[in-house]
Amino acid sequence: MAALNVLSVFDKEAAFGRLSPFQCREIREPDIPNPRWLKVRNKACGLCGTDITFIFMKVHPKAFPAATPAWRRKYLGHELLGEVIEAGSEVEGFAVGDRIGLRMDWPTCFEMEIDPPCPQCARGSYLLCENWGRRDPVVVDKGGGFSPYMVMHRSQAFKIPAALSNDEALLMEPVAVAVHGAYSRLPAAGDKVLVIGAGTIGLLTLAVARAVQPDAEYWSVARYPFQAEMARKLGASGIIPDEKNNFPAVADASGARYISRLGNRILMGGFDLIYDSVGNGTTVNNALRWARGGGHVVLLGADFKPERIDYSPVWNQEVTLSGINSHAVESDGRTSWDIAAEMLAGGKLNLDGIITHRFPLEEYQEAIRTFVHKGSKGATKIVIEHR
């Protein structure tokens, strides 16, 4: 990992090279290991920011996830749309021909068949599984969304309802993330809500929160004009530019008082609720200062670097900071995926325009470059297709 980071400083293409731990290879098609697994042919898979993090190995060794137990190989691609081509005899609820998504990408107690499951898996927070790395994987080379074929344990699959289009099915995973983020702290009627970031997760969080609570006022921090346009289309009543000092603009939007003393910028007042879909040191520090006293900041963005955070707004202004990791079972007992599918099937989310680019697998390097230069390419969700 260290070697690649050093190379990356000089050569942005290092991740594609021979020395990179990231490799695109031809391997044997996987077989199901026992009757509780499915074999899947993938149609397409969205490229996620975390895929890019792993491709360029941007995980800082001191970040929490860097110390969690690892597997020999991680197959990338979790925002997939696949079709069941073989269902083991002990798999219920799935049949050959079903369209499916991948609900649990990382090994959990369910996939490892640990009975009873750990307390996190038992309550549905499968991404917080405490048994990670306790057992060898059932299948090492199971494939992922960027491979044409893969196998998955029955617990990992989510059946796509017939009412959803293929594009909606492809967006199910990021919509489920947005659902988990929004449901972790839903806006109340009359709230002023800010979504930081207008990439896929920021836009989807805006769309989901607004669908659940239409009687709140939504604002978006967007970096590029095409992102601002999408945010407006999804119901943002105003856009805050992603500039170095946007405190005055945030003060105007939220009706707060802006104070700057010796370069120390604060707001008195601010947004009731802030969803931070970027989640780096700058946005978290800003969000804590842009929330009103007693306000709430939800961290959805996954940054793999330890950053310096001034947490004084947490005690001084009683601001709550909470975060989410992907998706889970929500407080009403439904999974984030069930809620996402219901919202899509009910026509509550119009996701036209979120998928901006499609590449065949053979052009994966171009897809990655498009992600890296998403501003100039006008990219939101990039999809890799198995043609």
Which stretches of the chain bind Zn ion, using CB under 5 A? 48, 109, 117-118, 121, 129, 131
The least distance separating Zn ion from the CB of residue 177, rounded to whole angstroms, comes to 7
Pick between residue 31 and residue 136 the one whose CB is nearest to Zn ion: 136
- Beta strands (DSSP E) in the chain are 37-47, 79-87, 99-102, 149-153, 157-159, 192-196, 217-222, 238-241, 257-261, 264-268, 271-276, 291-299, 320-323, 355-360, 381-385
The least distance separating Zn ion from the CB of residue 79, rounded to whole angstroms, comes to 5
The least distance separating Zn ion from the CB of residue 265, rounded to whole angstroms, comes to 32
Rounded to 5 degrees, φ, ψ at 264 are: -95, 105
The least distance separating Zn ion from the CB of residue 5, rounded to whole angstroms, comes to 22
* C-alpha to C-alpha distance for 318 and 288, rounded to whole angstroms: 10
- DSSP SS3 for 22: coil
Mapping DSSP onto H, E and C, the string for 199-265 reads CHHHHHHHHHHHHHCCCCEEEEEECCHHHHHHHHHCCCCEEEECCCCCHHHHHHHHCCEEEEECCEE
Pick between residue 126 and residue 290 the one whose CB is nearest to Zn ion: 126
Rounded to 5 degrees, φ, ψ at 226 are: -65, -30
Pick between residue 79 and residue 242 the one whose CB is nearest to Zn ion: 79
The least distance separating Zn ion from the CB of residue 78, rounded to whole angstroms, comes to 6
The least distance separating Zn ion from the CB of residue 324, rounded to whole angstroms, comes to 12
Which residues lie closer than 8 Å to 23 by C-beta, 6 or more apart? Answer: none
Q: Bridge partners of 105?
A: none
The least distance separating Zn ion from the CB of residue 110, rounded to whole angstroms, comes to 8
* Element spanning 126, H or E: none
Pick between residue 79 and residue 217 the one whose CB is nearest to Zn ion: 79
Pick between residue 121 and residue 211 the one whose CB is nearest to Zn ion: 121
Pick between residue 208 and residue 266 the one whose CB is nearest to Zn ion: 208
Pick between residue 55 and residue 216 the one whose CB is nearest to Zn ion: 55
